[in-house]
Amino acid sequence: MISEFGGSVEYRVVLARPKSSRIVAHRRGDEYVLPQIEIPRHTRSAQQLQTMIQAELGLKVYIVDLVSDEECLQRQAIAELLDAEGQWDGTGTPLAQIDVAELPEEERSAIAALLERNTSYGICRVGWIGEALSWIEGATGKRLEPAIRQMNAGNGFALAQVWSNDGTGYWIKATGEPNRHELPITSWLSQKFPDYLPRLIDVRPEWNAWLVEDAGEACLDLPSAATLRDAAQRFATLQLESIGCTCELLALGAADLRTDTLRKNIDGVVRYLSGAMERQESSKGPRLGSDRLVEIGAALQKACRYVESLGVPDTLLHNDLNTGNILRSEERYAFIDWSEAAVGHPFLCCERLTRLNSAAAEEVAAAYEEIWSRSVDPDTIRRSLGAMRLLSIYAYLVGRGDWLSHPERITPRFESYMRSLARHMDRAAQNPLVQEAVCH
């Protein structure tokens, strides 16, 4: 069962090593039980588990996969022992000997498949990390240090950092559904605009994985005005250079957030939000009525038509432009995590950058105006930016748009988040700059 006292989550950990069907377990009377690790909620599970297993059990591991039942009543982490010969003196315990209360049959079958290398994901299996490290050494021509810093794992996803013996850092990333498009988009952007992404070293299509050189540290949670200004200049320049590339990006799997597409989805989003508001049970946030949501929809329609009339060309977008996806080094800024890549109005990203530190709004807008004035009249830029306060929230809410046609993807947590975005749109629609834009 999950323990959630003090905002934590408990995992039962299956510790295995390559070429063995046995696992690490503790004997309790006549039964064998799995080690249990508790980690903070709402954190990167793979990262926290790797850290806590080493701290509490003294074992260096790589998290292979995370397994839970549909109701999340029980969670397991499958971890591979690294340098197993030096860490594990015993012969291990057969999976069949683990108490059924510890490991129900459905989870037991999934774990057995991982141990037997019989999974649908090429990377979610014991032994994969060894193959990946060999690939990295072959691709870089360097020997790697034994340390692995893991950030993500499970369901065909992986994200980990390694270092060569000369101190160079590398990141390996793999994605599963629904983000398999991130590899072709990242590969294409790296070749087309290499100055704006980490250096791409190699790809492994059979794993849907790629290898890049470390490109610096992520920006602080509250970046300074100077940092945001410089990042905005770089990203705006990338967007300017991407004019004319929308067809290629869409063909690679980028989301379509062009203004015309956004406008066509407004009625469906308003209907969905009306139902979501009716289903709201919490009293923490105001419940917007259907009439108000219709008014917001009308404002969105006017804003879309207005910015379309201004004629700013569509470009590359990054619909998840948070501080963790902006890397800074002494030489440059690099932008990562292109799973939410899209095409649409470039100034949507200006507003997203502004939200990383509202005190830097003027500096960010000035940076965009400086770069885009090479192609667009400054007055058109300023008029467009006014409407973005509303449209950027809506574009983020729409995202890839697939949830509108797949209601099974809509969970209570998802609905709660969508209601919060609707409230943000409500406040933005009342902003004088937005009202000026929609009144044209």
Listed residue (113, 183, 215, 169) closest to 338, CA to CA: 183
Quote the CA–CA distance of 20 and 136 in Å, as a whole number: 24
Residue 309 in this model has a pLDDT that exceeds 90: yes
Within 10 A of 221 (CB to CB), how many other CB atoms are there? 10
8 A C-beta contact, residue 318 and residue 349 = yes
Residue 89 in this model has a pLDDT that exceeds 60: no
Q: Could you tell me if residue 86 is inside a domain?
A: yes
* Model pLDDT, residue 393: 95
Q: Which of 183, 213, 243 corresponds to the end of one domain?
A: 213
* Model pLDDT, residue 87: 54
Q: What pLDDT digit, counting tens, does each position of 158-216 carry?
A: 999 999 999 999 999 999 999 999 999 999 999 999 999 999 999 999 999 999 999 99
Q: How far apart are the first and last CA of the chain?
A: 58
What does the radius of gyration of the chain's CA atoms come to, in whole angstroms? Answer: 24
Q: Which amino acid is at 196?
A: Y
Report the number of distinct structural domains present in the chain. 3
8 A C-beta contact, residue 37 and residue 13 = yes
* Model pLDDT, residue 118: 60
Q: Could you tell me if residue 84 is inside a domain?
A: yes
Q: What is the mean pLDDT of residues 229-233?
A: 97
Q: What average pLDDT does the chain have?
A: 89
Helix (H, G, I), strand (E, B) or coil at 82: coil
Query: Of the ranges 44-58, 110-124, 417-431, which one carries the lowest mean pLDDT score?
Result: 110-124
Q: Could you tell me if residue 121 is inside a domain?
A: no
* Model pLDDT, residue 72: 54
Same domain for 261 and 347, yes or no, is: yes
Query: Of the ranges 3-7, 124-128, 215-219, 411-415, which one carries the lowest mean pLDDT score?
Result: 3-7
Share of the chain above pLDDT 70, in %: 94
Q: Could you tell me if residue 120 is inside a domain?
A: no
Same domain for 314 and 407, yes or no, is: yes
Q: Could you tell me if residue 163 is inside a domain?
A: yes
* Model pLDDT, residue 400: 74
Q: Which of 213, 231, 253 corresponds to the end of one domain?
A: 213
Same domain for 298 and 430, yes or no, is: yes
∠ CA 193-352-290 to the nearest 5 degrees? 135
* Model pLDDT, residue 266: 96
Q: Which of 213, 239, 255 corresponds to the end of one domain?
A: 213
Same domain for 249 and 166, yes or no, is: no
Same domain for 111 and 238, yes or no, is: no
Write the CA distances from 36 to 22, 54, 346, 397, integer angstroms. Answer: 17, 13, 48, 37
* Model pLDDT, residue 409: 66
Q: What is the mean pLDDT of residues 115-119?
A: 66
Q: Could you tell me if residue 2 is inside a domain?
A: no
Quote the CA–CA distance of 418 and 396 in Å, as a whole number: 10
| pLDDT tier at 48, thresholds 50, 70, 90 | very high
Quote the CA–CA distance of 27 and 34 in Å, as a whole number: 9
Within 10 A of 4 (CB to CB), how many other CB atoms are there? 11
Same domain for 86 and 100, yes or no, is: yes
Task: Answer with the residue of higher pLDDT: 7 or 277.
Answer: 277
Residue 3 in this model has a pLDDT that exceeds 60: no
Residue 84 in this model has a pLDDT that exceeds 90: no
* Model pLDDT, residue 7: 78
Q: Which domain holds residue 14?
A: 8-115
Same domain for 205 and 221, yes or no, is: no
Share of the chain above pLDDT 90, in %: 67
Same domain for 228 and 285, yes or no, is: yes
Q: Could you tell me if residue 1 is inside a domain?
A: no
Same domain for 293 and 314, yes or no, is: yes
Q: What pLDDT digit, counting tens, does each position of 350-366 carry?
A: 999 999 999 999 999 99
Q: Could you tell me if residue 123 is inside a domain?
A: no
| pLDDT tier at 16, thresholds 50, 70, 90 | confident
Same domain for 300 and 396, yes or no, is: yes
Report the CATH number that the domain containing residue 221 is assigned in CATH: 3.90.1200.10
* Model pLDDT, residue 2: 39
Same domain for 133 and 84, yes or no, is: no
Report the CATH number that the domain containing residue 26 is assigned in CATH: 3.90.79.10
Q: What pLDDT digit, counting tens, does each position of 134-155 carry?
A: 999 999 999 999 999 999 998 8
Fill in the DSSP letter of residue 410: -
8 A C-beta contact, residue 216 and residue 334 = yes
Q: How many helices (H) and strands (E) does the chain have?
A: 14, 19
Same domain for 92 and 138, yes or no, is: no
Report the CATH number that the domain containing residue 163 is assigned in CATH: 3.30.200.20
Task: Find the helix or strand (DSSP H, E) in which 61 lies.
Answer: strand 61-68
